[in-house]
């Protein structure tokens, strides 16, 4: 339940969180010394993995949930040099080489929108219209 989109210039995300079926407003993207951070999944886990990345992402200190298949936090880091790195079920990220990317339940809608020339903010808006797990506003950060 999320949409985080990168268009090569802007990282954008919806603001909808869920607490046992109750919609909540939350921030899913952040700026840090290394670049921009966005996560899809539990907000508390997003905060924990953000702190881990911000402190240097030592593989020996990765949050335990990040190593569990089907239970990890999907994370996108856009480094200050513009490269995009995804964390999946590992302490080690992999680089994305496409000009735009998205994570979360609304990612397919956002990817299609950006492929059609929309910005990351516009892509998050599109995803929020069609994906029931996205909405409640948009945050955006430029690199």
Residue 126's φ and ψ, nearest 5 degrees, are -60, -50
Q: Judge contact between 4 and 103, C-beta under 8 A.
A: yes
Q: Find, among 7, 72, 23, the residue nearest to 15 by Cα.
A: 23
At 39-61, the pLDDT tens digits run: 999 999 999 999 999 999 999 99
Q: For the residues of 73-104, what is the DSSP string, one character each? A: PEEEEEETTS-EEEE-SSSS-EEE-SS-EEES
Mean predicted confidence (pLDDT) in 83-95:
96
- Give pTM, 2 decimals: 0.95
Count Cα atoms within 13 angstroms, Cβ side, for 101: 18
- pLDDT for residue 112 is more than 90: yes
- pLDDT for residue 27 is more than 90: yes
Angle at 90 between CA 84 and CA 92, to 5 degrees: 50
For domain 4-142, which architecture applies? Answer: 4-Layer Sandwich (3.60)
Mean predicted confidence (pLDDT) in 87-109:
96
* Banded pLDDT at 70 (limits 50, 70, 90): confident
Residue-range domain boundaries for the chain? 4-142
Residue with tokens 């430029």: 142
């Amino acid at each position: 339940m999320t949409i985080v989109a990168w268009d090569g210039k802007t990282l954008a995300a919806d603001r909808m969180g869920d607490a046992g079926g109750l919609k909540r407003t939350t921030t899913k993207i952040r700026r840090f010394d290394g670049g921009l951070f966005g996560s899809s999944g539990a907000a508390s886990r997003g905060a924990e993995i953000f702190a881990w990345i911000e402190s240097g992402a030592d593989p020996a200190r990765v949050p335990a949930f990040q190593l569990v298949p089907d239970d990890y936090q999907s994370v996108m880091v856009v480094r200050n040099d513009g490269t995009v790195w995804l964390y999946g079920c590992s302490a080690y990220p992999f680089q994305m080489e496409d000009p735009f990317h998205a994570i979360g339940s609304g990612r397919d809608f956002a990817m299609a929108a950006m492929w059609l020339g929309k910005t990351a903010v516009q892509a998050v808006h599109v995803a929020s219209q069609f994906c029931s797990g996205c909405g409640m506003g948009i945050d955006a950060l430029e690199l």
